[in-house]
Structure 1
Amino acid sequence: MTAGPGDSPTLLEAGSQNAVAHALGIIGDEWTLLLLRYATALGVRRYSDFLERLPISNSVLTNRLSRLAELGLMEKVAYQQRPPRFEYRLTKRGRDTWPILLTIWAWEATWVPQHEERLPVMRHSRCGQPFQPLLMCAACGKPVEPRDVTGGFGPSGTWERSVPAATTRRRSFAGAGASPGLFPQTMALIGNRWSSALLGAAFLGAHRFKDFEQRLGAPPTMVADRLRTFCDLGVLDPAPGAERADWLSYHLTAKGRAFFPVVMCTLDWGHRWFKAPEGRALVYRHTECRRIFTPRLACDKCREPLRGGSDVSIEPEARA
């Protein structure tokens, strides 16, 4: 892999993990999401400010900030020489994660009633209304639901290349600050390499246990555990199979389908910033306009497109 700076894509090696795997390997870490959230929404840059605002240990914070700089999402810049002090500024690659953060925030606020702290209300800065991000087709400007998009693997897309490697998943350290717990169900869906793969399989039309097993290449016990977790969360709904009643068929619920904007924004970010020489890992089309589907977000109140994180204001937080 040829690392690029924060304003140019990373060039991947042929046959290596594709854009999907790299994106999920980064986004599927809760501390990373929180650091990006504070940097994007609140403009936090300095180590001491991150440490003050988050229930995080020095070792975890140092690890994640170094990782974000290594991956090109932040730039480590000296602001003082004696003694040396640094701040971590978002690069264009880092700033471009705002649609992912916004859709995760909206999904958790709508579908997950219990959080360790109250999730602030998001307000559209231009119309002044509390809002939910609305997923739109960038080509035709129309709202999009999961059923409106079709597609599958592109030139660099296989199940094996799309699953994040275990080494890319930075686990939280034990002890102080071991788990922030602010996006609990999002992490249950994408914070585990097999969970994210199973979720992708569900959106690509897998329903039966053997379909998930074959596509993921995961041990049957792992597939069974992930399916049970998704059902417990209310993301999948098991039903008797058409061939045999004891062969369950798993279908996305309304809660599961509502996670679609998170998936699409994550894939779009990954494809823009991690380029495989063979081409895209996944290719989707909007069935109505028949063009390649590129996600865009809009305010569901005024329908104006959201141009960036500056379009969203966050009301003051209240800790539990």
Structure 2
Amino acid sequence: MTDIENPGDAPTQLAAGGQNAVAHALGIIGDEWTLLILRHATAGVRRYSDYMDRLPISNSVLTNRLTRLAELGLLEKVAYQQRPPRFEYRLTKRGRDTWPILLAIWAWEAAWVPQHEEQLPVMRHGRCGQAFQPLLMCAACGKAVEPRDVTGGFGPSGTWERSVPAATTRRRSFAGSSASPGLFPQTMALIGNRWSSALLGAAFLGAHRFKDFEQRLGAPPTMVADRLRTFCDLGVLRPAPGVDRADWLSYHLTAKGRAFFPVVMCTLDWGHRWFKAPEGRALVYRHTECRRIFTPRLSCDQCREPLRGSDVTIEHAA
């Protein structure tokens, strides 16, 4: 049973004391099949058969994901034929609003993950005509933003317990597999598991020591150790001798880890806009330079103009 009552183009009103916007956003975005379906949906795919042609997916998994995305209000199931009955799945406003997340993930994977079997297509900005990388900006003042430029923490509905997504879907794992890693192999390692996404959030909120991660997440020590080891293997965290004792390691975000910040901010922003807890926001961030509530905006790094989903074209390699 879910506390989501009104999926569609209006924000969902969450139950008091339940999972907050962060948990709901990560529970949706942290699933690879969901990301791949949304990616094709934004390119105009609507029909079941077209998804089957484009994705290495089973009928049962595709049916499950399309049904879930319709229930969550990202897709709308619409009949296009009566005899026999056939349906297509159209993006709602909530679904279309995920494009900054997809764009940020695409850019991070292209810049930092070399293990794609095929080169990722180039993104081109329709307004200036240049190949580009999305640049994270403050919507209030228009300045470019790095992780160090944003401060904040939990808001009225924010606790670690309420922010951890439920394990509602089965994630694909490509570790040690010869299968294609898809478009988002390392993104899934960071947000495709409820404890991974929580640990990443703790790192961006300033956790460094093992006991800090353990206390904030409320996860078993073996789970924390496994996730820290995975993040270090991926080059997202860097271990260093502790200040108090050299054998007590301290974990710090690397340049690769900090570069994932736009994905995190765009995901949280989407979650807060579409999932409303009665107590208020789960997380509150401010841009230290302008001192306003930080709302992320992606701009073209070539012309600095704000990006819109309709401005971005994808060019596949010849």
| Superposed pair shares fold, TM > 0.5 | yes
Match for 2:317 among 307, 312, 319? 319
CA distance in 1, matches of 2:292, 2:216: 27
Q: CA shift at 1:232, angstroms?
A: 0.1
Q: CA shift at 1:36, angstroms?
A: 0.2
8 Å CA contact retained: 2:7, 2:71 = no
8 Å CA contact retained: 1:56, 1:177 = no
8 Å CA contact retained: 2:171, 2:192 = no
Q: CA shift at 1:55, angstroms?
A: 1.0
The gaps in structure 1 that reach 5 residues or longer are: none
3-state SS of paired residue (2:299): strand
The gaps in structure 2 that reach 5 residues or longer are: none
8 Å CA contact retained: 1:149, 1:293 = yes
3-state SS of paired residue (2:26): helix
Q: CA shift at 1:6, angstroms?
A: 1.6
Q: CA shift at 1:85, angstroms?
A: 1.1
CA distance in 2, matches of 1:174, 1:60: 20
8 Å CA contact retained: 2:31, 2:169 = no
CA distance in 1, matches of 2:175, 2:104: 29
Q: Pairwise mapping of residues 135-174 of structure 1 onto structure 2 (< 5 A)?
A: 135-167=136-168
Q: CA shift at 1:175, angstroms?
A: 16
8 Å CA contact retained: 1:26, 1:169 = no
Moved more, 176-185 or 94-103: 176-185
Deviation track 1:3-40 (CA, whole Å, cap 9, x = no partner) reads: x2321011110000000000000000000000000111
Give TM-score, length-normalised by structure 2.
Answer: 0.94
8 Å CA contact retained: 1:74, 1:91 = yes
8 Å CA contact retained: 1:57, 1:176 = no
State the percentage of identical aligned residues.
91
Q: How many residues align?
A: 315
Question: What do you get for the CA RMSD once the two structures are aligned?
Answer: 2.4
Distance 1:97 1:130, change over 3 A: same
CA distance in 1, matches of 2:101, 2:188: 13
8 Å CA contact retained: 2:32, 2:172 = no
3-state SS of paired residue (2:39): helix
Deviation track 1:63-95 (CA, whole Å, cap 9, x = no partner) reads: 110110010000000111111111100000000
Deviation track 1:175-209 (CA, whole Å, cap 9, x = no partner) reads: 99998632110000000000000000000000000
Q: CA shift at 1:174, angstroms?
A: 14
Moved more, 291-300 or 174-183: 174-183
3-state SS of paired residue (2:168): helix
8 Å CA contact retained: 1:28, 1:169 = no
Give TM-score, length-normalised by structure 1.
Answer: 0.94
Q: CA shift at 1:165, angstroms?
A: 1.3
CA distance in 2, matches of 1:176, 1:62: 25
- Residue 130 (structure 2) aligns with: 129
